[in-house]
C-alpha cells in the first residue's frame, strides 16, 4: 500500500536508500548497475527534482524502467515509485530529453498517425482481411436437443442445464432460430461488421501492437473468433481507434495521453458500447486504471481483459 504521492522532490527525500527495491527490479536484474535499479533512479530523480540537468546516461536509465511497479510493492517507506518515475520522465521530456534519446520518432508517430508505428490509420484493419469464416455460436446452429431454447435463457421445456448457465452471461445475442434448419453455420468475415458498428454491446479495443504488427494479427483474429463463437454482440473502433496512450505516458507526456483517452472514450460512447475488452495488458491497464484519472471522471464503461471475459464465458457455458 503506497502513501499519497507528494511530488518528486519530497518523495525522493523520503527514499531511505535501503535497496529493498533493487532485489525485485527486472531491469537491475538484467543490467546489474546501481544506476539501472530503482535506488539509483531515485538518486537521479532527486537531482532532476532539484532542476539539475540530467546527462544522456541518466536520462537513459530513467527511461529503461519498464514501469512494472514491483519496486512500489516492496518499498518500506511506501513511496509511489511509479508516480515518481512518471514525473521524472515528464520533467525530462520538458527539458528536451526525447530528442537526445531516440524517442522523438515515437512521439512524432503518435502525433501524426495516432499509433506507434507511423502506419496509416486504415492499416489498423489489415488483420481483418484474411479472417477465416467462423463457426457460429451453438445457439445459431442446428442442435436438436436445444431447438427453441434461447442462448440467454428464454427456455423451452427442452432447455438443458447448459442453456440455464448461459443465461447468466450478458451481451450474448438472444437468438432463437425459428427453424434450426435455416440457421446458417458460419459467419463470413464480411458480415461481422467489425469496423465501428453502432449499437454493439462490446468493443474489442485491438491496440497498436496487435493491430499493426503482422505477428500480432493472430491475437486479434483468435479473439474475433471467440467473440463470434460465443455470439457476442461486438465490434471494434476500426480506424477511429487511437493508441491507448500508454506510450505517451511512458514518454512523459501525460497531457497527450489525456487527449487520446478522451478521443477513445468518446468514440466508444458514440457507438453506444457498454463494455471494452482488450487483449493487450497495457491497453487494459490504461483503460481501467489511468483513463478515469486522466479524464477526472468514471468511464461508465466496464473494462475487461480478454482473460476475464473468457473466464466468464467458460463459467457460463457460452463457449
Side-by-side strand order, sheet with 275-278: 234-235, 202-205, 275-278, 302-305
Q: Report residue 312: phi and psi, to 5°.
A: -60, -45
Q: How far is the CB of 86 from ligand SF4 (least distance, A)?
A: 10
Tell me which long-range contacts 177-181 makes (C-beta under 8 A, separation of at least 24). Answer: 177/139, 177/140, 177/147, 180/141, 180/142, 180/143, 180/144, 180/147, 181/142
* Alpha carbon distance 157, 21 (integer Å): 61
Among 23, 56, 68, 311, binds ligand SF4 (CB under 6 A): 68
Grid cell digits, residue 109: 508517430
70, 95, 167, 262: residue in contact with ligand SF4 (rule CB under 6 A): 70
Nearer to ligand SF4, 38 or 238 (CB): 38
Annotate each residue in 189-228 with x if it binds ligand SF4 (CB under 6 A) or - if it does not, as one string.
----------------------------------------
Burial of 99 from C-beta contacts in 10 A (0-12 / 13-18 / 19+): exposed
**87, 40 in Cβ contact below 8 A?**
no
Does 19 contact ligand SF4 by CB under 6 A? yes
Least separation in angstroms between CB 91 and ligand SF4: 17
Q: In angstroms, rounded to a whole number, what is the distance separating the alpha carbons of residues 201 and 193? A: 13
Shortest reach from residue 46's CB to ligand SF4, in Å: 10
* Binding status of residue 86 toward ligand SF4 by CB under 6 A: no
Q: Minimum CB separation from ligand SF4 for residue 30, in Å? A: 10
> CB of residue 249 vs ligand SF4: minimum separation in angstroms?
13
Site for ligand SF4 (CB under 6 A): which residue of 6, 66, 190, 315?
66
- Residue where the block lists cell 518515475: 85
> By C-beta, is 76 or 296 nearer to ligand SF4?
76
Which among 24-32, 88-96, 238-246, 267-275 is the span making contact with ligand SF4, rule CB under 6 A? Answer: 24-32
Given a contact cutoff of 8 angstroms between Cβ atoms, the answer to whether 210 and 277 are in contact is no
Footprint of ligand SF4 on 276-295 (CB under 6 A): none
Among 49, 65, 294, 303, binds ligand SF4 (CB under 6 A): 65
Distance, CA of 166 to CA of 244 (rounded, Å)? 32
Min dist CB 257 to ligand SF4, Å, is 18
The pair phi, psi for residue 224, each rounded to 5°, is -65, -40
Site for ligand SF4 in 39-58 (CB under 6 A): 39, 41-42
Interaction of residue 18 with ligand SF4, rule CB under 6 A: yes
The reply on whether position 21 binds ligand SF4 by CB under 6 A is: yes
Which grid coordinates belong to 293?
Answer: 484519472
Distances (CA, A) of 302 to 127, 283, 284, 312: 25, 14, 11, 14
Nearer to ligand SF4, 84 or 318 (CB): 84
Interface residues with ligand SF4 (CB under 6 A) are 15-21, 24-27, 38-39, 41-42, 65-71, 75, 77, 79, 81-82
Amino acid at each position: 500500500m503506497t502513501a499519497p504521492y507528494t511530488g518528486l522532490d519530497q518523495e525522493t527525500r523520503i527514499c531511505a536508500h535501503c535497496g529493498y527495491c533493487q532485489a525485485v527490479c527486472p531491469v537491475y536484474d538484467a543490467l546489474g548497475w546501481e544506476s539501472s535499479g530503482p535506488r539509483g533512479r531515485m538518486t537521479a530523480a532527486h537531482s532532476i527534482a532539484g532542476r539539475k540537468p540530467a546527462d544522456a546516461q541518466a536520462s537513459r536509465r530513467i527511461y529503461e524502467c519498464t514501469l512494472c511497479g514491483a519496486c512500489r510493492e516492496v518499498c518500506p517507506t511506501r513511496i509511489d515509485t511509479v508516480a515518481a518515475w512518471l514525473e521524472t520522465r515528464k520533467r525530462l521530456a520538458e527539458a528536451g530529453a526525447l530528442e537526445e534519446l531516440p524517442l522523438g520518432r515515437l512521439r512524432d508517430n503518435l502525433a501524426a498517425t495516432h499509433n506507434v508505428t507511423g502506419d496509416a490509420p486504415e492499416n489498423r484493419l489489415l488483420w481483418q482481411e484474411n479472417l477465416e469464416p467462423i463457426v457460429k455460436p451453438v445457439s445459431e446452429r442446428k442442435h436438436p436437443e436445444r431447438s427453441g431454447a434461447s442462448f440467454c435463457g428464454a427456455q423451452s421445456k427442452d432447455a438443458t442445464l447448459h442453456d440455464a448457465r448461459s443465461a447468466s452471461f450478458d451481451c450474448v445475442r438472444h437468438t432463437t432460430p425459428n427453424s434450426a434448419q435455416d440457421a446458417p453455420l458460419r459467419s463470413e468475415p464480411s458480415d461481422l461488421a467489425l469496423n465501428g458498428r453502432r449499437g454493439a454491446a462490446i468493443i474489442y479495443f485491438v491496440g497498436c501492437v496487435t493491430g499493426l504488427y503482422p505477428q500480432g494479427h493472430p491475437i486479434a483474429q483468435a479473439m474475433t473468433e471467440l467473440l463470434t463463437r460465443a455470439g457476442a454482440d461486438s465490434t471494434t473502433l476500426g480506424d477511429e481507434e487511437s493508441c491507448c496512450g500508454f506510450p505517451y505516458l511512458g514518454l512523459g507526456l501525460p497531457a497527450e495521453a489525456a487527449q487520446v483517452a478522451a478521443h477513445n472514450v468518446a468514440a466508444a460512447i458514440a457507438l453506444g458500447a457498454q463494455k471494452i475488452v482488450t487483449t493487450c495488458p497495457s491497453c487494459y491497464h490504461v483503460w481501467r486504471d489511468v483513463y478515469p484519472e486522466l479524464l477526472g471522471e468514471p468511464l461508465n464503461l466496464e473494462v475487461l481483459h480478454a482473460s476475464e471475459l473468457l473466464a466468464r464465458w467458460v463459467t457460463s457455458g457460452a463457449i
